[in-house]
C-alpha cells in the first residue's frame, strides 16, 4: 500500500513531507533556546550554581513545556497544524473520523512526540556532563532508551500507515490538507 493512499480526513502524509515540516518547526523552535541560553550562561558566569536536577527542571519549565504546549495548541482546533505542517500542506486529524482533534489529545500527542524524548535527552546530557569518566549503568540504559525512541518515531513514518507511536497514542493521523490533495 502506498504511503499516500486515501484515509478518513485526507490523503496520508508522505514521510518526507512530515520530516520537512518537522525541520521547519524546529527552525522556529530554536529561537527560544537562542534567547534562553545566553541568559543561562550569564547567570552561570555571574556565579549562580544550581544542582543539575534543578537546571534540568528549569530547562523543562522554560523550554520543553512551552514548546510542547505551543505545538499542541497549533495542532488542535481550527489550526490543525504547526507552521511546518502548514507550509507542507499537512494537518493533524482524528484517525477514525478525519475531524480536528481537541487540545487534550494534541497535548498527549506532543507530550509523547516532543516532551518525553527531549526531557530524556536533557537528562542524558546532564548526566554525561556531570558523570566522571565512567557513566553509570542507568545512564547508559537511559541513553539507549532515548535512541530507541528516536528511531521508533522516525522509522514509523516509513511504515505503510505512516502512523507513529505518538499518533497511535493520540488517536491521530497526519494527512494532506484537502486543498493539497490535488497537488
pLDDT for position 99: 95
Q: How many domains does the chain have?
A: 1
* DSSP element (H, E) containing 92: strand 90-94
CA dihedral angle for residue 33, residue 77, residue 102, residue 180, rounded to 10 degrees: -90
Alpha helices in the chain (DSSP H): 15-29, 31-45, 52-59, 65-75, 83-87, 103-110, 116-130, 137-156, 165-170
Condensed to tens digits (0 to 9), the pLDDT of residues 71-103 reads 999 999 889 999 999 999 999 999 999 999 999
pLDDT for position 9: 59
Let me know if residue 100 belongs to a domain: yes
pLDDT for position 8: 56
Q: Residue 19 belongs to what domain range?
A: 6-178
Condensed to tens digits (0 to 9), the pLDDT of residues 168-181 reads 999 999 999 986 55
Task: Give me the residues of the chain with pLDDT under 50, please.
Answer: 1-5, 182
Let me know if residue 1 belongs to a domain: no
Let me know if residue 174 belongs to a domain: yes
> What is residue 6's three-state secondary structure?
strand
Q: Report residue 150 CA to chain centroid gap.
A: 10
| Contact between 162 and 18 (Cβ < 8 Å) | yes
> What is residue 93's three-state secondary structure?
strand
Let me know if residue 183 belongs to a domain: no
Let me know if residue 124 belongs to a domain: yes
- Rounded CA separation 84/39 (Å): 27
Overall size of the chain counted in residues? 183
Amino acid at each position: 500500500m502506498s504511503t499516500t493512499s486515501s484515509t478518513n480526513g485526507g490523503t496520508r502524509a508522505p514521510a518526507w513531507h512530515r520530516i520537512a515540516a518537522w525541520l521547519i518547526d524546529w527552525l522556529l523552535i530554536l529561537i527560544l533556546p537562542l534567547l534562553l541560553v545566553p541568559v543561562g550562561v550569564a547567570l552561570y558566569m555571574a556565579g549562580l550554581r544550581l544542582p543539575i536536577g534543578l537546571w534540568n527542571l528549569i530547562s523543562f519549565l522554560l523550554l520543553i513545556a512551552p514548546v510542547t504546549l505551543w505545538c499542541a495548541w497549533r495542532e488542535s482546533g481550527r489550526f490543525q497544524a504547526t507552521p511546518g505542517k502548514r507550509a507542507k500542506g499537512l494537518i493533524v486529524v482524528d484517525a477514525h473520523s478525519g475531524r480536528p482533534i481537541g487540545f487534550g489529545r494534541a497535548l498527549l500527542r506532543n507530550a509523547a512526540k516532543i516532551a518525553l524524548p527531549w526531557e530524556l535527552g536533557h537528562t542524558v546530557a546532564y548526566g554525561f556532563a556531570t558523570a566522571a569518566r565512567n557513566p553509570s549503568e542507568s545512564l547508559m540504559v537511559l541513553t539507549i532508551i532515548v535512541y530507541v525512541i528516536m528511531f521508533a518515531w522516525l522509522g514509523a513514518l516509513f511504515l505503510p500507515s505512516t502512523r507513529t507511536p505518538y499518533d497511535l497514542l493520540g488517536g491521530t493521523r497526519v494527512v494532506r490538507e484537502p486543498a493539497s490533495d490535488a497537488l
